[in-house]
Every structure is written in C-alpha cells, then in structure tokens.
Amino acid sequence: MAPGDRTVLLLGGSTEATQLARLAAASPEVTLNVSFAGRTAARAPMPDGVVVRVGGFGGPDGLQRHLESNAIEALVDATHPFSARMPFNAAAAALAAGIPRVRVLRPPWTPQAGDRWTAVLSVTEAAAAVEASGARNVLLTIGRQELAPFAACGRARLVARCIDPPEAGVLDRAEIILARGPFAVEDEVELLRRHDIDLVVSKNAGGAATEAKLAAARRLGLPVVMVQRPPVPAGPTVPTPADAMAWLDGVLLASVDR
C-alpha cells in the first residue's frame, strides 16, 4: 500500500472527530479530508496534512458527488450526537457511492441514583417542561442554535451557557455565559449556586466534557430536563475513536485484498 494512497472523509463536529483526526493523520496509508458544517466559530486545530473543508454538501446527492469526484474510499461520520440530518445523508451517500461508512457515537448518559431527570424528545418539549415546572432560575446547556423555543418561557429567569454567542434577537432576555468544557464538578456546583439555579436543561450528548453539570445537579438535588438524542440510520456504529480507527484499518485493508 503506497503512502497516503487511501483517501478518507471524516465528518467532524465532535470531540471524537478531533481525536480520530489525530489518529488517522498519523497513518502513512491515509490521506485524511475533514469536513465541518461551520456551526461553531472556533474549531479544534487539525494535524498537518489534513485537508479541511467547511460548509454543507447540498444534501445526500451533493455528498455522493463529493465522495465520487474526490475518490473517497471510506466515510467516517463523527458528527455530534445531536446531528439529526447529516448521519442520514451520509448513510444514503455512502450507499449510493458504494463505499463503507461508520458512525462514531459516544454512549449516552444514563441516570444515576439520586438523579431527577425528565426525559423529553425535543427542545420544544423541553421548553414546555420548563414553563410547566414553575422553576425560577433555569440553566440552559443546549448550545446556541436551539434557544428560540425558550422565548415562550415567561416565568423563569434563563441563564444559557454556550460556546459561541447566540444571534441577536434569539433569546435576548437570557443571561449568556460563554464557556467550553471540560468542566469540573466543584465549578459546576458553584455556578448553580451562584445563579440560584433550580432546574437544568441538557441534551443527552454523553461524554466526559460536560457530564460534571449532571453530577453537580445530583449533589444539589436539582431536577434536569434531558433532551433525548435523535434517531440514527442503520449501519455500523462504534463508540470511540480507537474503535473507528480499527474499523478504518480493516475496511482499507480489505479493499486492498480484493
């Protein structure tokens, strides 16, 4: 196998994507292309030699054309666990292009003893749950792009923690905290106490970077409205970047043997 003769497309947007990019870039057999949707202003730096693109493909047909025109031999979908559309586009495009695909998906969080979770299926349902709860001070930890439904929550004071600032007019009355994980449990406890939070809203993203807020809520006996993940397409799924690299090694070696 000649160095760098296998081109792989990695769909980024998660911590796992950054970790996998480092692993794949170290492989002399792989030319790695990484694609970002462009929703987050600050992206993790990529290793030298990685080809980076930003922006959409134009649906599954556009992604299929990209795969074929760039001679992509394997597709790794490491988008965020709450990416609802791209995993299905990736599955359809890979199938149409006739190349292998895998989804890297970290395990979701599960309730622990002492947790007070209310599971909802969408951010809109989460906003309704906030309004019905009678909470006075609510911490929103769902990112900046899905704050709009909480404009209907007229009773509670809202504190929203985001990586990047939300667009003007989306939820102007909320207090915005700009921060990026990982967070420590003691710091999260202090945050909840400082803002007198009595309800936390979270997406079930899984992973260690933001799990501390759940431990802090558990320690303080606070309820959590937990938005469940969207459905995922059928097909192979692995939980870690190391597993994805092993899958990638396997499919690339298999293609050489044919």
Query: Does the pLDDT value for residue 257 go beyond 60?
Result: no
User: pLDDT digits over 37-65, tens only?
Assistant: 866 555 677 888 888 889 889 999 999 99
pLDDT of residue 254: 67
For 210, the 3-state DSSP assignment is: coil
Same domain, residue pair 152 and 198: yes
Same domain, residue pair 154 and 208: yes
Average pLDDT score over the chain: 92
Q: Is residue 76 part of a domain?
A: yes
Same domain, residue pair 131 and 208: yes
User: pLDDT digits over 189-239, tens only?
Assistant: 999 999 999 999 999 999 998 999 999 999 999 999 999 999 999 999 999
Same domain, residue pair 121 and 222: yes
Which domain CATH number covers 27? 3.40.50.720
Same domain, residue pair 142 and 52: no
Q: Is residue 210 part of a domain?
A: yes
Positions of E strands within the chain: 6-11, 30-36, 51-54, 74-77, 101-104, 116-120, 137-141, 157-162, 175-178, 199-203, 223-227, 237-238
User: Taking the model in full, what pTM does it have?
Assistant: 0.86
Cα–Cα distances (Å) from 68 to 15, 93, 121, in that order, read: 27, 10, 36
Rounded Cα gap, residues 212 and 258, in angstroms: 47
Rounded Cα gap, residues 236 and 102, in angstroms: 5
Sign of the CA dihedral with 247 first, then 253, 257, and 258 last:
positive
Tokens read off for 199 = 């309800």
Tokens read off for 250 = 């396997």
User: pLDDT digits over 158-174, tens only?
Assistant: 999 999 999 988 999 99
Same domain, residue pair 20 and 102: yes
Which structural domain, as residue segments, surrounds residue 245? 6-107+231-257
Same domain, residue pair 207 and 134: yes
Q: Which residues pair with 221 in a beta bridge?
A: none
pLDDT of residue 255: 62
Other Cβ atoms less than 10 A from the Cβ of 33: the count is 17
pLDDT of residue 6: 85
Confidence class of residue 3 from pLDDT cuts 50, 70 and 90? Answer: very low
Same domain, residue pair 210 and 120: yes
User: pLDDT digits over 122-139, tens only?
Assistant: 999 999 999 999 999 999
Domain count, the chain: 2
